[in-house]
Amino acid sequence: MNSIYKTVGVVGAGAMGRGIAQIAAQAGSTVKLFDTQAAAVAQATQAIGAQWDKLAEKNRITPEQAAQYKAQLQGASALSDLADCDLVVEAIVERLDIKKSFFAELEVLVQPTAVLVTNTSSLSVTAIAAALKRPEQFAGYHFFNPVPLMKVVEVIAGLKTKPSICQDLAAYAKQMGHTPVQAQDTPGFIVNHAGRGYGTEALRIVSEGIADFATIDRILKDQVGFKLGPFELMDLTALDVSHPVMESIYQQYYDEPRYRPSVITAQRLAGGVVGKKVGEGFYKYIDGVAQIAPEPAVPVVAEMPPVWVSSRAVRRSELLQLLKDLGAKIETGASPSAQALSIVAPLGFDVTTVAIIERLDPARTIGIDMLIDDKLTKRRVLATNPATRSDMRDAAHALFARDGKAVSVIRDSGGFVTQRVVATIVNIACDICQQGICSPQDLETAVTLGLGYPMGPLMMGDKFGPTEILEVLFNVQTVYGDPRYRPSPWLRRRGAIGLSLTHVES
């Protein structure tokens, strides 16, 4: 294979550096791996070679290819050994001062045409390049761990980077079997920026006492289709990695409320309860398996009250049909009788607010999240308000569980769980487009490949309705008075006129 970069230097023999060296060699480049710890280089080259041997044993590559790749991977004993490299990829500690010092030392050693790139995940590419004599030859090249399996790479232009550099890096990413996405030099780039909504909003829900970790994870997996719930995901990535990223992006955006971190993760990080790798995070782990309490049993209700459905309920006709299918006795009057269970289905508002506005008895009022078509979800979510009677709560739980579908009952929340988490994800994605950080297409690609979401955030917004997402945000902001929920202009304008979120003006 004729590689765009014939000789590539990789600095840093940790997991990230090893992964980059592996795929660069597979792309046909001669790779020189350097680390200040010589033993780390030897261990890394041995580990990469063993990986190729395993691939050959599984017939993923031929023995001849494995031998060729090994011949193309060399250990470098000094930084000066990288002097003839066409491209040097840095994958060292995530500290601005250390990276700046390293590149200042490297730049005088390499040829003037050499391209220098940083694998930083959260630092400014422009700031790292600020002291260089040739900042136009410098860019960000952000891979994700494990590199051979995570097939997206962010190509980031600094303020002075030549466009042709990014074009070549994108083409080289394709040679390595990866999918490149182009991003502007902004905090978090695309993936870490777009990922702010999932975990931070789930943490806010917990902090309000609405539901526990396991319930929130179940809801978002069963209603939306996420592979991992937010707390499962944070346990997997570990808080010593994810919490500093939350703080970094929040601070770099000058305390933007949309990215506000949580004291919950700060406290757990301080206490060393960081996740699966230490045996305890949001869940406890035994032999690597999360210990999760079973769901509460469905209540046994001797006599079911009649049910009245608000005229303002979202998907009201679908909700009425569902209740009929479940065998409920439905009242059709303008207001509920004194015995009726009142069902409301708001977008963004909490059950308390709706009960007051509609002059319902809060003791007999329950909310259900109907943002998503019931046929498309594996779980129904009900919400009480502070005055809801326990017999009404149990009756609603038993009724909606009659057909065997899982039911979660949470405390009152503006936007339940799914509405506010999905709306936050979509809103942040829309603002990424509004800021011109990347194209809508690259955003969708980066998030699906980099975060493993069931769909891109803009497609998620289109699926559940831009107008509905906009309404959720407006109403959640009314409930909480928090500017974190203010809609992005990208969403507000498209939602107002019913336009697809992926639409780009000509």
Q: In what order do the strands lie in the sheet with 115-118?
A: 73-76, 30-34, 7-11, 87-90, 115-118, 138-142, 152-157, 179-184
pLDDT of the residue at 323: 98
Q: Give the range among 21-25, 339-343, 467-471, 499-503 with minimum mean pLDDT.
A: 499-503
Write the CB contacts of 138 (distance below 8 Å, at least 6 apart in sequence): 103, 115, 116, 117, 118, 125, 128, 129, 132, 158, 160, 161, 165
Neighbours of 252 (CB within 10 A): 16
Q: What is the mean pLDDT of residues 260-277?
A: 97
Residue 126 tokens, joined = 């422009």
pLDDT of the residue at 405: 98
d(CA 124, CA 126): 5
Identify the band that residue 2 occupies on the pLDDT scale cut at 50, 70 and 90: confident
DSSP state of 92: -
pLDDT of the residue at 193: 96
Q: What is the mean pLDDT of residues 70-92?
A: 97
What's the pLDDT tens digit per position in 295-329? Answer: 999 999 999 999 999 999 999 999 999 999 999 99
pLDDT of the residue at 315: 97
pLDDT at 122 over 90: no
pLDDT at 490 over 80: yes
Share of the chain above pLDDT 70, in %: 100
pLDDT of the residue at 504: 82
Q: What is the mean pLDDT of residues 453-479?
A: 97
CA torsion sign for 90, 96, 97, 98 is negative
Contact criterion met (CB below 8 Å) for 45 and 37: no
What's the pLDDT tens digit per position in 415-444? Answer: 999 999 999 999 999 999 999 999 999 999
Q: Give the range among 17-31, 257-271, 462-476, 492-506 with minimum mean pLDDT.
A: 492-506
pLDDT of the residue at 3: 86
CA 293 to chain centre: 25
Residue 475 tokens, joined = 């109403």
Provide the annotated active-site residues: 121, 142, 154, 192
pLDDT of the residue at 311: 97
Cis peptide upstream of residue 146 (ω within 30 degrees of 0): yes
pLDDT of the residue at 278: 97
Identify the band that residue 506 occupies on the pLDDT scale cut at 50, 70 and 90: low
Q: What is the mean pLDDT of residues 438-466?
A: 96
Identify the band that residue 505 occupies on the pLDDT scale cut at 50, 70 and 90: confident
What's the pLDDT tens digit per position in 149-165? Answer: 999 999 999 999 999 99
Write the CB contacts of 144 (distance below 8 Å, at least 6 apart in sequence): 150, 152, 153, 191, 450
d(CA 445, CA 156): 15
d(CA 365, CA 388): 6
Identify the band that residue 180 occupies on the pLDDT scale cut at 50, 70 and 90: very high
| Closest C-alpha among 49, 36, 178, 47 to residue 101 | 36
Contact criterion met (CB below 8 Å) for 342 and 361: yes
d(CA 403, CA 211): 24
What's the pLDDT tens digit per position in 345-400? Answer: 999 999 999 999 999 999 999 999 999 999 999 999 999 999 999 999 999 999 99
pLDDT of the residue at 1: 65
pLDDT of the residue at 503: 83
